[in-house]
Chain A
Amino acid sequence: MGITKGDGSASPAARPRSPATPAASPKPRRSHVPGAGTAVAEAVEQARREMLHEGARSHAEAAERREKRARIGADVVIEAILRQGVDVLFGYPGGVILPLYDVLGDHPDLRHVLVRHEQGAAHAADGYARATGKVGVCLGTSGPAATNLVTGIATAQLDSIAMVAITGNVPAALLGKDAFQEIDITGITLPMTKHNYLVRDADDLPRVFAEAFYIARSGRPGPVHIDITKDALQQETDAPHPTDEEVAAGLPGFRPTLGGHPRQLKLIAEEIAKAKRPVILAGHGILIADATEELRAIAEKARIPVAWTLLGIGAMDETHPLAYGYMGMHGWKHVNRAIQAADLLVAVGMRFDDRVTGAVRTYAPYARIVHVDIDPAEIGKNVAVDVPVVGDAKRVLAGLLPLVHEVPEAARAEYLAQLAEWRRESEGASWHGSGAWRDGLLSADFVIAQIGEVTGHDATMVADVGQNQMWMARYAGYRRPHSHLSSGGLGTMGFAMPAAMGAALGRPDKSTWAVCGDGGFQMTIQELATLVQDRIPVRIALLDNHKLGMIRQWQEIFYSGNYHSSNMYGPDYLKLADAYGLPAWRVRTPEEVRPAIEAANAVDGPSLVWFEIAEEQNVFPIMPAGKGLSDLIETWGGADE
C-alpha cells in the first residue's frame, strides 16, 4: 500500500515496493547500468550515493524534523520522486515554489542541483534520463522559470525522453488574475508534452505524481509536466501514494501495445527470408527498450547489416562486422547507398524522420518496408509501410528471433562483399588520419576520434547541435548503448553541457564528455558554475572555429557564399575557465590533441579543452534539403573532406 504520513520515519527510497502481480504490472523500471543485482551495479550505486549526498543532513536529524511537523504537499512531491528511484533533482528556486525548498533539507536522499538557468535544469534531467534509463526530474517556479524550462521539455518530447518537469504556480485563488509571475504554463506545455497536469489540491499530488512517472516511462517515453499551485504545496495531506497497478487501472486511456502481433512477426520473417539485399534500420527505440542483444542476435542469424539513426547510435557495437553505420543527411555515403539499393528495410524503433529519408519519393526505391514501433501513430506517418508492427522493440525482436531462418554465409557473401567495398570507398574518401586539414589546420573529426580513443570508446559522449554533432555521430566510435547523447528531434543548441551534468550524475562510473561548438557552448555557458559548485565531473571539449559552423556551411553551399551572422566572437576560454575555477587546456595543433584529452580526462571534477579547429571545415557528405539520399554533396569548392 501507499506511504502515509505515519511511516515517514524511514527513508522512502529504501522502502520496498509493494509486490506486483505480473499480469497487471507495467513495464519494469529500466536501468541502463548492466547486471542489476551484481557487485558492479551495486558499486555504481554506492559511488552515486556518495557523490550525491555528501554533506547532506543526517537521516536521523531529517526524520526528527519531519516528525515534528505535519506532512504537506511539498513532502508528497519529494516522496513521490524518491519512490521512483530518482535521487537527483535539477532546479532553481523562486517565489511560489519556495514551500518545496522549505522541506527539501528534510529529505536528504534527494539531491538538489542548483542550476544557473532553468533550461539547464531541463536538459540535465534529460541527460540523466538518457544515461540512466530512469525518469529525469527538473523543477522551477512559475512564470519565467516555467517558460525557461519549455525548450528542454520540447527537446525531451521530440526525442521520447522520460522526464517529469515540475513548476509552481500562483495560489489557486489567483489563477487567471494575471498575478505576479503567473502564466498559463499548462496551456504552453500542452502540445509539447506526453501529458500535463495542473494540481490545486495536495490530496491529488500522490496520484498525479504516480501517474506522471508511469506515463513518462511507459510505452513510448516522453515528458510529463506538473504545475502545482503554491497553496497545494503548503496544504497538509494524508493521501497515500498509489501503487503502479492502481495507477494503471486509473488510466484507461493509456494502454501501450507492447507485444507485436504474432501474425505480423511471421510476415517479417517471411520478408526477411525473401530478401536479397536487406538492411536493418535501428533507432532510438532499440536503446529505450534495451533491445541491443536481440538486435545483434537477429542481425547475426539472418546476416543483415545494421544502419542506425542519430539517436540509434550505440544500438550496435560499431566494431561488429554487421554494424554498417550512421544514415541520413550527414550519414555515411555507403550506408545511404545500401539503403537506396536495398530490397528490404527492417526499421525498428525509428520514425523515418526527414533527416533520415530526404525526399520520400526517391527514398529506398527498391525496398519493401517493415516498420516496428511502439507508437502506432508513427507507422504510415512519413512513408507507406508494407509490414506494420506495433510493439516494444525488445519484445518484438525476441519474438521474431526464433521465426527467422538462419542465413548461410554463402547466401550473403556477394552482397556483404559489395557493401564492404562501398564502405572502404566512402570511409577512405572521408577520413583525415593526420589530424591536419589544409595547411596544418586542426581537423574537428580528428579531435573527436581522439576523444573516443582516449576514453576507450566507453565514455558518455554528449553532443551539442550543428557540425560538432555530426562529427560526433560519425567519428567518435561507439561501443556501448547510451554512450552517445544528442538532441536529435529538436536540435537544441546549448544542450551538451547541461545534459552532460545529468549524465555524469547518473553514470559516475563512466567518463562524461560534452562536445560543443563555440555557438552552443555560449548558449548555456552559465552552467560552468554549476559544474564547479557541485563538482560534477564533466569534461568539455570546445570545438571553436569562431563560427556558427553549420550556418556557415549552408551559406557557403546553398546561399552562394553570402555569409551573414555566421562569424562569432568568443572570449578567451582559458581565462574564462580560470575565472570559473576549472582546469583548462588550449589546443591548436594535432600533436597537442591527445595529451590535452588525457589530462582533462584525468581531472577529478570538471575540466575543459579548448580546441581551436579549422574555421572553414565542412561536414561531408551533406544531403541538400528537399533532395534524396542519392543526391549527396561530397565536396565543395575544392575542399578535400
Chain B
Amino acid sequence: MSPDGSSRTPAHSAPPPRSLPGTGEQRRHVLVAIVNNRPGVLNRVASLMRARNFNIESLAVSHLDDPEISRMTITLRADDVLVEQAAKQLYKIIDVLKVQDVTDEPTVQHELALVKVRATDRTRGELISIVEMYKARIVDMAAEAVIVETTGTESEVDALIALLRGYGIKEMVRTGTVVMSRGAQSIEEATRR
C-alpha cells in the first residue's frame, strides 16, 4: 500500500525517505567575499551567519587597493550544501558584491599569529632554536617572555603553538586565515567586471 492508500501509486510498499539537502559531512570551507567598504557591512555579514546558524571559525577583514571595497575571508565548518546556502544568503546582502568558495581551488592560505611565551634564562635558547626551525621569528624579548611571530597555514601555526605550549603561553592572537587563489585569476578583477 502506498501512503495515501491508492492503487495508482507505485507498487513498492515503503518509499525511501526523501533526502534532506546536503550530506551532513562537515569539512572546513573558505569563502572569500568582496563587499562594499561601508560602515555596518561586517555587522550585516556576522549577523546573517549567526541568524542562519552558520558557525564561523574565523573571519578576516581588510580594505583593499580600491578604497570602495573590502575583502572578507570567512572560514566555516559545514557540509558542502550548507556552505553553498551560506554563500547564497551572503549574496542577498546588498553590500556583498562577490562571494567565492575557494575550498577546492589551489590557493595560498596563510595566517599570522603572535604568541607571548614564558622564557627563562634556561629555556630561552631552546625557544630560539624551535622558532628558527619553524621559520618563525622573535619580535620582542623581555626578561621573562618573548613574543613569537609566525605565519603559515593553519596547521603549521597549530604545530608551532603545540610546541610552545610546553613553555607556557601567556597570551596569543591569531588573525584567522587569509587566502588567495594561485595563478593569474583575481576575484577583485572579477568583481569589477
Contacts and interface: CB of A to CB of B under 8 A. Distances in A.
A554 interface: no
A381 B16 CA distance: 20
Contact of A362 (B17, B35, B89): B17
B22 to A, nearest CB: 8
B17 A361 contact: yes
B136 interface: no
Contacts of A215: 94
Interface stretch (A132-140, A164-172, A249-257, A436-444): A249-257
Interface in B33-87: 35-36, 40, 43-44, 47-48, 51, 81, 84-85
B8 A341 contact: yes
Contact of B20 (A340, A366, A377, A384): A384
B8 A254 contact: no
Interface stretch (A42-50, A85-93, A184-192, A593-601): A184-192
Contacts of B51: 191
Contacts of B10: 366
B20 A361 contact: yes
Contacts of A187: 43
B94 A195 contact: yes
A365 B94 contact: no
Nearest to B12: A366
B9 A341 contact: yes
B93 A253 contact: yes
B166 interface: no
A381 B88 CA distance: 10
B140 interface: no
A415 B96 CA distance: 47
Interface residues of B, number: 35
A252 B40 contact: no
B18 interface: yes
B6 interface: yes
Contacts of A194: 92, 94
B18 A277 contact: no
Q: Which of B8, B9, B92 has the most CB of A within 10 A?
A: B92
Interface string A347-386: 0000000000000111111100000000111001111100
Given A340-B4, A377-B91, A362 B96 contact: no
Interface string A180-216: 0000001100110011001000000000000000010
B21 interface: yes
Interface in A97-143: none
B116 to A, nearest CB: 34
Contacts of B2: 341, 366
B44 A377 contact: no
A190 B49 CA distance: 13
B3 A365 contact: yes
A457 interface: no
B18 A415 contact: no
Contact of B3 (A186, A360, A381, A630): A630
A418 B95 contact: no
Contacts of B48: 191
Interface string B13-29: 00111111100000000
B18 A384 contact: yes
Contact of B16 (A365, A383, A384, A630): A365
Contact of A365 (B15, B36, B88): B15
B187 interface: no
Interface in A224-264: 251-254
A254 B93 CA distance: 8
B94 A251 contact: yes
B102 interface: no
Contacts of B81: 380
A418 B9 CA distance: 11
A337 interface: yes
A164 to B, nearest CB: 14
A382 B82 CA distance: 11
A253 B40 contact: no
Given A195-B94, A340-B3, A377 B18 contact: no
A198 B8 CA distance: 59
B68 to A, nearest CB: 10
Contacts of B6: 337, 341, 418
A382 B44 CA distance: 23
Contacts of B85: 377, 380-381
A277 B6 CA distance: 13
A341 B20 contact: no
Interface in A62-98: none
Given A340-B4, A341-B9, A381 B91 contact: no
Contacts of A366: 2, 9-10, 15
B131 interface: no
B44 to A, nearest CB: 6
B161 interface: no
B44 A253 contact: no
A381 B47 contact: no
Nearest to A381: B85
B47 A191 contact: yes
B97 interface: yes
Contacts of B43: 187, 190
A380 B40 contact: no
Interface string B174-191: 000000000000000001
B4 A630 contact: yes
B95 A253 contact: yes
A360 B21 CA distance: 10
A376 B51 CA distance: 18
A429 to B, nearest CB: 15
12 contacts: A186-B40, A190-B40, A195-B94, A198-B40, A253-B35, A253-B94, A253-B96, A254-B94, A337-B4, A341-B8, A377-B85, A383-B18
Ranked nearest first, the 5 interchain pairs of A and B with the lowest CB-CB distance are A365-B15, A377-B88, A361-B17, A630-B3, A337-B4
Given A191-B48, A377-B91, 18 more contacts: A186-B40, A190-B43, A190-B44, A251-B94, A252-B191, A253-B36, A253-B93, A337-B4, A341-B6, A341-B8, A366-B10, A375-B92, A376-B88, A380-B81, A381-B21, A384-B19, A384-B20, A630-B3
